[in-house]
Amino acid sequence: MKKFSKNILIAVCSFIVCLTFAASGCADGNDGKPENGGIVSYVSQQTEVYSSTAEVVEAVADTVVEISTETVTTQWGMQYIVSGAGSGVIVGKNEENNLYYIVTNNHVIDGAKEISVTTRSGEKYAASLVAADDSADIAVIAVTSEVNLKIAVWGDSDQLKIGEDLIAIGNPLGSLGGTVTKGILSAKGRSITVGNYAMTLLQTDTAINPGNSGGGLFNMRGQLIGVVNAKTTDEEIEGICFAIPANTARSVYGDLVQYGFINGRATLGIMVEQLTFRNSHTIVCVTDAGNSPDGTFMRYDGIYSVNGKRISTILEFNVALSEINVGDSVEIEVYRGTASQGILGSVNISFASELTKFSVNAVQYGA
């Protein structure tokens, strides 16, 4: 049997690049957070089982929106605007200010200076970022509308059955908004590595393409049971796509709206980067230790282990962090590093040969 590699890719949007000489600012208006600091109400209720795909689509299609973004990048001293596209689902509303909340993927809006939303009816709105989380690949954006927009009904993804019919609605290729595809639930609880994070996802054979990211995955009750985010790509593979379970997405959505971060997630107060050397050896290096307690991390520390678990990649570091609770005392081993100036502005980092050991208390991420 011929061997092949499986590549898990985020179902990212298509990009169009155009030249510009000035960076655009974020969309003006409300920052997306409710004035009372509380979670806006979302719709969650028992619904009827529809008899056809067409009936489901008629019931839910208006809850799915097209998302367009503009991100400023600099190359060779010139600034460019990179345009991207994705999908989102309307999941909540603040009745006090007609602010509608849309859940999408973090990778759809990451780094965007401008975000716009287009509804199924063709109405276009400037959107603002409420909050986002990279590890969960969930972001919440908001638009203000005097026109009533339809809100999706959350489903219970834990109750899904293998083989159940599923319907995806999104904006494939960034230009085919409202596209409907249908498949089945292939598996639950798939442990998949997406980028630098391990995620537990739903697997489906529903057709997913770039631009579908952030779109809705619905069951035959018209309930939102997943947020599309990734697929497997290989010339010999098809029909293996993934979505964030609704129960996960709904929990993250609630925390992002209420707190601006995921409540209960621990951090060590550092920023890290993975370095790869000529012999392909990798090490996770601390690039910013400004939020760590005195006597613990220092910039250029090479992290060797966390609670006895060997760390050589950012994925391993993130997995170790996910097993830590706020307030835990964490045992750390590092190789102390020093930086020196190299040629052509490069930086050379050398590490001590002996390990430095210390303990650090994990704190609430984002607080």
Alpha helices in the chain (DSSP H): 53-60, 106-109, 246-258, 314-322
Report the candidate in 187, 319, 281 with the shortest Cα–Cα distance to residue 243.
187
Burial of 21 (0-12, 13-18, 19+ CB in 10 A): exposed
Q: Is 107 a catalytic residue?
A: yes
SS3 (DSSP) at 228: strand
Q: Are 259 and 366 in contact (CB under 8 A)?
A: yes
What phi and psi values does residue 258 have, to the nearest 5 degrees? Answer: -80, -45
Q: Are 112 and 84 in contact (CB under 8 A)?
A: yes
Catalytic residue among 87, 213, 255, 292: 213
Q: In this structure, are strands 179-194 and 165-170 parallel, antiparallel, or unpaired?
A: antiparallel
Taking the C-alpha atoms of residue 59 and residue 152, their distance in angstroms, rounded to an integer, is 9
- The tokens describing 323, both together, are 């097993």
Burial of 198 (0-12, 13-18, 19+ CB in 10 A): middle
Catalytic residue among 62, 107, 135, 186: 107
Bridge partners (DSSP) of residue 17 are 82
Q: Is 281 a catalytic residue?
A: no
- The DSSP symbol for 219 reads -
Catalytic residue among 137, 157, 186, 292: 137
**CA geometry: angle at 177 spanning 174 and 178, to 5°?**
150
Active site residues: 107, 137, 213
